[in-house]
Structure 1
Amino acid sequence: MSAPASMVISVLIFILIVSGLSRGMKNPIRQSGITLLLPIIYIATCLFQLLDPDLHAQEDQIILALVAGLVIAVPLVIATNFEVRSDGIYFQRSSAVFVILIVVFALRFALMGMITGIDSTTLEFILNTATLSYIAVWRIAVFAKFQRVVNSRAHV
């Protein structure tokens, strides 16, 4: 996949995630909360890059990307909370989540321009792996938080 095509896909995924968060602040989240996990599916499409014969990612690069994703996920998990209103459960309004996502997204594009010595296919895969890592950890943790809120409402 070419760098411009990858950037377009990254922008689309970013828009889907941000619009989902915005919607969740304005409309109640469905009782099951399964939609909270959809961003994982969006970004998991990057795993198709494993089929690319031009991919030359090394084990240590992948591990570093996974660890970077875990580190990025921590502030997102902390900043993402829910509030209970009379008509349902909503994402709590938080500009911190949006700021973190914008910074991470901008950092991704800056790294694409700054990192040299790695072919573009491998760099794209490494950055996508970090993105998959933080989105998966963040959204699974948020889903668990949501389930705790749902369960606490059921016991009231």
Structure 2
Amino acid sequence: MGITVIFIRMKAAKKPTSANKIMLPPLFMSTGALMFVIPEFRVTSMELLEAVAVGMLFSILLIKTSNFEVRDEDIYLKRSKAFPIILISLLIVRIIGKVMLSSTIDVGQLSGMFFILAFAMIVPWRIAMYRQYRSLRATLNQERLD
């Protein structure tokens, strides 16, 4: 699945981006929070804090490697050579973490923690991307007016 995401991301860099393409993935992912309706997926407050902290830490790497460029009056996601390496590294760290923690934390709770980690990783990343996109879009619009 992680490798699929890398290929999708590389392919997406060939097409202009939009605010919807940036902000819709976290919105769609948020439906996964319905898992917490089932008691076995609920986490303690400490597990919640740990998952959010790790997710936000991971998001910093994604934010640093996600940049936009203007081509032909459109905004494109700039390819970063480090991005696939970072995604694979994050995937490996998450898999190792799951294997290590699965012996001490219930599978349902662990699933909940990793959902929270992923969500805490994608939301700041996408917000940073949206802010950068909005700034570039405003610059483009201003240049068209001049």
Q: Say whether the fold is shared (TM-score over 0.5).
A: yes
**Residues 132, 27 of structure 1: CA spacing in aligned structure 2 closer, same or farther, 3 A cutoff?**
same
Q: Could you tell me which runs of 5 or more consecutive residues in structure 1 were left unpaired when the two chains were aligned.
A: 1-10
Q: Calculate the TM-score normalised by the size of structure 2.
A: 0.87
Aligned to 1:108: 94
Q: Deviations over 1:93-145 (max 9, x none)?
A: 10222221221122212211111211000011101101000101101110111
Report SS of the residue matched to 1:90: strand
Change in CA separation of 1:85 and 1:50 when aligned onto 2, cut-off 3 Å:
same
Give 5+ residue unaligned stretches, structure 2: none
Equivalenced residue count is: 142
Cα 1:153/1:56, change in 2 over 3 Å: closer
1:141 & 1:20 partners in 2: Cα distance?
A: 20
Q: How does 1:6-155 map to 2 (within 5 A)?
A: 11=1, 15=4, 17-30=5-18, 33-115=19-101, 116-155=103-142
- Letter of the 1:143 partner, please give it: Y
The 8 Å contact of residues 77 and 141 in structure 1, kept in 2 or not, is answered as: yes
Q: What SS is found at the alignment partner of 1:155? A: helix
Matching residue's letter, 1:118: I
TM-score by length of 1: 0.82
Amino acid of the residue matched to residue 21 of structure 1? R
Code of the residue aligned with 2:132 in structure 1: it is K
CA contact (8 A) 2:73 2:140 kept: no
Q: CA RMSD in A?
A: 1.9
* Closer/same/farther in 2, CA of residues 120 and 43 from structure 1, 3 Å limit: same
1:65/1:120 Cα in 2 relative to 1: closer, same or farther (>3 Å)? same
Separation (CA, whole Å) in 1 of partners of 2:137 and 2:11: 19
Once the 2 structures are TM-superposed, how far is the Cα of residue 38 of structure 1 from its aligned partner? Answer: 2.2
